Structure 1
Amino acid sequence: MLFEAKIDLIGIPVNRFIFPSRTFASPLQNPDKHCFCTEKIISKNCTLYGVLDVSKCKEGKPVYISLPHFLHASPEITEPFEGLNPNEEEHSTYLDAEPLQINILVKPARKIELAPLGDEKRAMFINQVTGKINLLGLVEMILMSVGVMFTAFMISYCACRSK
């Protein structure tokens, strides 16, 4: 994934990372993808794009990954399906990460449920994490201002004293 932008996510500054369009490119478009082309007939001699063959990672099972609605895929892939309307706004995949990230090793769970960040937890996060980071930035600016003023004072003091 590639860095796209710094954004504000419900009051929390995060870095957004996206899949570039070359992620699901064919080996003809992106030679780095040659190892994902293992099935020459289905892939039309590795010219189709929009899916990655990850069967080697899944003990030979025919597993392919793509973006939702086959976003950025070859027309030959999407044409057999009705109701697909891929568009960047609804079907792009991205990762928003808070710049100071703490990682914890967890074991696979049988069921992972989406836990929305409620107003109370969002306020707590902003107060305890983001607020302290902003306070450190303020302290840094104050110390830099004091340093500049001290330097200016010392220069003027030395200039006046030398006269």
Structure 2
Amino acid sequence: MDDKLMRIAMGKFATGVTVILSENESGELRGMTANAFMSVSLDPKLILISVDNRANMKSIIEQSSKFSVNVLADNQVDISKQFAGQLKEDKEVAFNFSHEIPVIEGSLTSIVCDVYDIVVQGDHTLFVGKVKHLTVNEGNPLLFNQGKYETLTPVSV
């Protein structure tokens, strides 16, 4: 099977959209859009993100040993596009800090983590984060499906 077929198959799984944030050694905020995120454990409270080994974010998280995962709301498409490098010019993004980690204002959930474990698998690195703090806000999630942004449409049962 080729890489394109694998991408098409994985694209059939609709996901939420997150922005991973951390700070480099100079204290500069860095981020990337990601949909490879999941809950791992409630006891201890662990989550997992997957970062391409070629991404700058990999070394930033390795150096800082901390990061946040910000689950985007359906009105935050521009934020997703900005951190995915899809906008021609940067727009201002409102940040707060929680436990000295940057988080995005207005995200549905911001999860602040210390790196708990690092596992390299193929062309990606899996960062398991131990949750230090989280915030939850009301709203609907931004979704990504088959290469496009979508919003939630409830199904009547």
Verify same fold: TM over 0.5: no
- Rg comparison, structure with higher value: 1
Looking at both structures, which has the greater relative contact order when contacts are Cα pairs under 8 Å and sequence separation is at least 6? 2
Q: Name the structure where strand makes up a greater proportion of residues.
A: 2
Which has more helix, going by share of residues? 1
| TM-score, normalised by the number of residues in structure 2 | 0.25
